[in-house]
Amino acid sequence: MKESNSLQGKVALVSGGGRGIGRAIARTLSFLGAHVIICGRNQSELENTAAAISSQSSPCEGIRCDLTAWSEVENLAKTIRQKLGSIDILVNNAGVGGFGGPLHALDPAEWERILNTNLRGVYYTIRAFAPMMIEKRSGEIINISSLAGKNALPNGAAYAASKWGLNGMSYSIAEELRQYNIRVTVVCPGSVHTDLSPHEGKDPRRMLQPDDVAHVVEMLVTQQQRSFVSEVLIRPTQKP
């Protein structure tokens, strides 16, 4: 890791930060000195994670927010602006899986659940927080996608669609925001050992771990300001 104060004075927001990949990212950013806010739907989970991180490094606080509801995201942005002024780093990590069968048999409500969280929720956070970064003429937006946004995923078409859409959105907003010195990166991990994706037949010891994704985020937010990485694909060294 870089020095523990390399993000001193920075404010970071990590969605889905109560567990899994989001928790690992929040812990890493806090270690680097950032004031970290984690958001999600489970308040007790957020509080437990925030307390654990704060006890070991920089301040971390959990704020409940349903990212599929614009009014809640808007209120989150207002709260952060009032308390902290702005944010410097936005990590869109919150996501839900969906691997239950072919698209032609998918319940429309399940389609809405997946797309609303994985794609609409990211639009909402960017709509709420990018203007703050534009005001400062600096910022980092990191969207956690998936290799399912690069490859075919039978029996997971809705999930794949959400990630292909997230990738396309990320490439586009990177071009829109780079004039304001805002860097946008999409990170596409393969299967990570969390409770999101199916693990049948896979050796968890060979799978990617949440800290592997957090390490990539660390590299992105500590790179020189004159450059940015637009996309990172992460695969395990050995196939699980």
Scanning 99-153, the segments in alpha helix (DSSP H) are 108-115, 121-136
- Give the residue from 140, 129, 145, 137 showing the smallest Cα distance to 219: 140
DSSP state of 57: S
Is residue 159 part of the annotated active site? The answer reads yes
Backbone phi and psi for residue 177, each to the nearest 5 degrees, phi listed first: -105, -10
Distance of CA 181 to the CA centre of its chain: 20
Q: Which two tokens stand for residue 146?
A: 């998936």
Give the integer Cα–Cα distance in Å for 158 and 150.
13
Exactly one of 123, 159, 171, 180 is catalytic; which is it?
A: 159
Q: Which two tokens stand for residue 167?
A: 């990738």
> How, if at all, do strands 11-15 and 231-234 pair?
unpaired
Q: Known catalytic residues?
A: 159
